[in-house]
Structure 1
Amino acid sequence: MSEPAAPHDPTVTEQDLTVVGHQLGRPARDVVEIAARCVCGNPLVVATAPRLGSGTPFPTVFYLTHPVVTAAVSRLEAEGAMYTMTDRLGEDTELARRYRAAHEHYLAQRHRIGELAGTGEVPEIEGISAGGMPTRVKCLHVLVGHSLAAGLGVNPLGDETLETISETWTPQRCACDPVWREA
């Protein structure tokens, strides 16, 4: 699998928020950056503040918004892929080491996004990343969002999930609904 699209501008525009709202079927909340974009420019992943405007702690920094990607990942979750991956973490020390490094990267990125958002420390989620990292796999959507935001080679199980869904969706091919931009 080749690298996702070239580096993009993470700046959030009103158009981005409109598109994300259409993707999610609800208004976007506390978006700090567009962490990954489709080859057409639409958001794929948003970086969300670690403390929402309501005061709620929010550990999922990299939130997958694109419904085609989300559906493909949901199918894998429905098949129980997380359980097999969690078992492999207990058996493969190199995979476990790389997954722990992904966890540390996620925490560092959450800190960076929190500073950009001005949310300050969020002690309720200190040391807790998302998706089950670093010892299990709980949510493939988080891992894929992390892989798309960070690039290949950072989150091994997110990368693996992207490879598994590559017949349904790939970062090199647009699967966006034109209505998102027209609305």
Structure 2
Amino acid sequence: MTTPPFAPVTDADLAVLRAQLGRPARGVVGVASRCVCGNPTVVATVPRLPDGTPFPTFYYLTHPAATSAMSVLEADHIMKELSDQLAEDPEIAEAYARAHESYLRDRALFGEVAEIEGISAGGMPTRVKCLHALAAHSLAAGPGVNPIGDLALARSTWSASRCVCVEPGVAG
């Protein structure tokens, strides 16, 4: 197996993450997606945090504008619409199941944790539970891997191709 293609986290990244999250980032092993200005958008985290807590969310959305956009979609009940699509479209369901397996393979490269075995994120492979996690997976893996994450990103007001950070190197 090879590691997923993401950059190691730097001290500068950790400073931006601290500003984005309002707290120190925990268990970060790399930056899986960046804003066009270079700031982290998605980080990859170890499956067991340094304090011993199992952490299934391998791809974690950190960019404030992206997280806000996903929160707006959740508040607008888009998850129900996406859940209905998942239930009604066998192609989406099959692709979503493959996304779940891809997520588990990526995370397994950084350790196996019995408490979260078989659990990915965002409700995969059968539910739509957290658009933040699904969008993070889509941004990290690229278009076409996670259909629900792709649909959420397409429905959002945020775009990975447009920087809305305050200034390069500073969280927005």
TM bin (shorter chain): over 0.9
TM-score by length of 1: 0.87
Tell me the distance in 1 between the aligned counterparts of 2:40 and 2:140.
11
* 3-state secondary structure, aligned to 1:88: helix
Letter in 1 for 2:71: S
Equivalent of 1:177 in 160, 166, 171: 166
Q: Does 1:109 align with 2:106?
A: yes
Tell me the distance in 1 between the aligned counterparts of 2:151 and 2:86.
13
- Residue pairs, 1:43-122, within 5 angstroms: 43-112=40-109, 114=110, 120-122=111-113
Identity score, percent: 60
Q: Which runs of 5 or more residues in structure 1 are unaligned?
A: 1-7, 115-119
Q: How many Å apart are 1:83 and its aligned residue? A: 1.5
* 3-state secondary structure, aligned to 2:170: helix
Q: Give the 3 Å change call, closer, same or farther, for CA 82–9 of structure 1 in structure 2.
A: closer
Q: Deviations over 1:46-78 (max 9, x none)?
A: 001000001000000000000001101100001
Tell me the residue number matched to 1:139.
130
Aligned length: 167
Tell me the residue number matched to 1:117.
none
Q: Which runs of 5 or more residues in structure 2 are unaligned?
A: none
RMSD: 1.5
